[in-house]
Amino acid sequence: MRIDIISIFPEYFSPLELSLLGKARASGLLDIRVHDLRSWTRDRHNTVDDTPYGGGPGMVMKPEPWGEALDAVASGGDEGAAPRLIVPTPSGLPFTQQRADRLAGEPWLVFACGRYEGIDSRVAADAAGRMPVEHLSIGDYVLAGGESATLVMVETISRLLPGVLGNAESAVQDSFATGAMAHLLEGPVYTKPPVWRDREVPPVLLSGNHGAVDRWRRDQALRATARNRPELLDRLTADDLDRRDQEVIAEARLQTGAEPMAD
């Protein structure tokens, strides 16, 4: 996969040289190119923003450097190929694990990191004439710019690519992964030693009974979801739940004081 990132702070993306993503880049699984937006400015001050039309606080990023930057980056691919443009913004659609799964299937992504009050809206409208454009939000809060959100999305998407994770099963078992588990949080995890500061690993995990271990993990996932994200349980259907699931959810909801699930 190729990923281009355009920002006025290219040094912000040095973490992408570390850990699994750094190894994926070194091995050729991931081609990440970071571009400085100011390279496409035309004045001696490298100006990228101006006051908003209609008044109001803050500054808006100018369309000229963004238009030239996207033209240049998009023209650098294979003949006939077009990237998918991702614009991180709190006003975008929620970035979810399911959207990450879909984007991991794309050959080429471009991230446009806005700052200040955002990028002039004509930039995305103009880009949409030659590439798909998505506005995505990583949460209901406002950041100083799109760089942090881009780091989150790039890491989430990249770890789904074949060969990036040492054990591909890790992604399958994540919170929000696939199927009914897409609506469940991951439960607690343990490693050696079996006893630490008088705290024991749950005996079922040492039993060697894989069926019992799977059941325990699902129970813990249901309990964690009921405790921390109860609204996710409402997305489960009767087909997603067996009798034991329903018993665990009912018990967890009683403990948290939540309303029981509707039949």
The residues, any chain, with a CB within 8 Å of residue 125's CB and separated by 6 or more, are none
Q: Are 127 and 21 in contact (CB under 8 A)?
A: no
Q: Is 138 annotated as a binding residue?
A: yes
Catalytic one of 50, 101, 174, 186:
174
Active site residue 90: yes
Joined together, the tokens standing for residue 52 give: 């908003």
Active site residue 198: no
Catalytic one of 159, 218, 223, 253:
159
Which residue type is seen at 172?
V
Q: Is 77 annotated as a binding residue?
A: no
Query: How far, in whole angstroms, is CA 164 from its chain's centroid?
Result: 16
How far apart, in whole angstroms, are the C-alpha atoms of residue 17 and residue 2? 15
Q: Is 140 annotated as a binding residue?
A: yes
Q: Is 141 annotated as a binding residue?
A: yes
Q: Is 87 annotated as a binding residue?
A: no
What do you get for the CA distance between the two ends of the chain, in Å?
A: 44
Q: Is 114 annotated as a binding residue?
A: yes
Active site residue 102: no
How far apart, in whole angstroms, are the C-alpha atoms of residue 58 and residue 50? 9
Active site residue 174: yes
Catalytic one of 90, 130, 155, 251:
90
Could you tell me which residues are annotated as the binding site for S-adenosyl-L-methionine? 114, 138-143
Q: Which residues are catalytic?
A: 90, 117, 159, 174
Could you tell me which residues are annotated as the binding site? 114, 138-143
